[in-house]
Amino acid sequence: MADGVDFTLTGLESLLGKIDAISTDLKKKGGRAALRKAANVIADRAKANARRVDDIATGRSIADNIAVRWDPKYFKKTGNLKFRIGVLHGAVLKNHPDKAKNAPTPHWRLLEFGTENMRAQPIMRPAAENSVADVINTFTSEYEKAIDRGIARAKKKGLPP
């Protein structure tokens, strides 16, 4: 149903040189923080797209249910960093009498993919597709800052980076 999005980064020689100079712990800690900030770029665009299609008459807001979540199971299994960006409460199509601000919004899938009676009004896919350059720039700059801080801390303590 949902398409995956893969990114390949090239031309980051200065960043890759610094990565070799630091410990694995800093790579994961700094990388996780940088990846979260990059994921937030997509989440912010998805929230803006959701506000465009949200029905103000109801209390349910898709934008309020968009979240960025760390995936610890994937990290433990592979050692790779991963954040998930999605809409909370899943795709449960039950009757939810709750009309609060953060009430479940299972109808987001109907808007995202459309139905045979309704055209699709995508929220998540355009957010990911249209922010590739911003995501890469954010990740690169934040990760480079984290690496520079880690190297400075290691020098201050007199430890090898």
- For 42-85, the pLDDT digits (tens) are 999 999 998 888 777 666 788 888 999 999 999 899 888 899 99
Q: Which of 14-23, 119-128, 148-157 has the lowest mean pLDDT?
A: 14-23
Q: Which of 16-30, 38-52, 119-133, 135-149 has the lowest mean pLDDT?
A: 16-30
pTM of the model: 0.76
Where are the domains positioned within the chain?
Answer: 24-152
**H helices present in the chain, as ranges:** 13-20, 24-53, 62-65, 72-78, 108-113, 124-129, 132-157
- For 97-134, the pLDDT digits (tens) are 666 666 777 778 888 888 899 898 888 889 989 999 99
DSSP bridge pairs for 84 = 69
Phi, then psi, of 67 in degrees rounded to 5 = -140, 155
pLDDT at 111: 82
Q: Are 126 and 85 contacting, i.e. CB atoms less than 8 angstroms apart?
A: no
